[in-house]
Amino acid sequence: MTGATGQDGSYLIELLLAKGYEVHGIIRRASLFNTERIDHVYQDPHETGARFFGHYGDMTDGSVLARLVEEIKPDEVYNLAAQSHVRVSFDLPDYTADTTAMGALRLLDALRDHVQRTAREVRYYQAGSSEMFGAAPAPQDESTPFYPPQSLRRGQGGGPLVWRELPRILWPVHL
């Protein structure tokens, strides 16, 4: 799981652990503590029966994403990492696009290489926002055209845009 220390990631970790999953969370390195939301699920990885494992990683670094995919061999991947603050995306446009859109592409690329090499099946979840559909009438589904407001085009819409444009070349990854 990317974005493991975020709001949604912390709840999803709790849910998956309750379902009996082994969970590997990617944690972005910072010089200040940034794991308050998941401190309660932390387990010493050397303890017998530990089912949550944290790994340093960053969506801007494709090499670590590829290495972690190879090491962890995930059955399911949840991509929740994002520079998710819409207004801040105007201050940090390059970083927001690099993390949220290009980051999703790097992760999908690592998964494609992994499943093509190993023939394993991997399911992939991409976090997005209903705002991606803008004013498109409900109910919306995978075939509804994206029409995000300008504020979202550089941020939360990026990951889903990459995700939906790539399925044909990523056929072994269940999107």
Ligand X SMILES: NC(=O)c1ccc[n+]([C@@H]2O[C@H](COP(=O)([O-])OP(=O)(O)OC[C@H]3O[C@@H](n4cnc5c(N)ncnc54)[C@H](O)[C@@H]3O)[C@@H](O)[C@H]2O)c1
Interacting residue with ligand X among 16, 74, 78, 84 (CB under 6 A) = 84
Task: Tell me if 104 contacts ligand X by CB under 6 A.
Answer: no
Q: How far is the CB of 7 from ligand X (least distance, A)?
A: 4
Part of the chain binding ligand X (CB under 6 A), chosen from 76-84, 109-117, 132-140, 161-169: 76-84
Task: Tell me if 76 contacts ligand X by CB under 6 A.
Answer: no
Residues near 68 by beta carbon (within 8 Å), at least 6 away in sequence: 24, 26, 55, 57
Nearest residue to ligand X on Cβ basis? 6
Residues near 147 by beta carbon (within 8 Å), at least 6 away in sequence: 132, 133, 134, 135, 136
Task: Tell me if 129 contacts ligand X by CB under 6 A.
Answer: yes
Interacting residue with ligand X among 1, 24, 28, 69 (CB under 6 A) = 28
Q: How far is the CB of 102 from ligand X (least distance, A)?
A: 10
Q: How far is the CB of 108 from ligand X (least distance, A)?
A: 15
Task: Tell me if 3 contacts ligand X by CB under 6 A.
Answer: yes
Residues that bind ligand X (CB under 6 A): 2-3, 5-9, 28, 58-60, 80-84, 99, 127, 129, 156
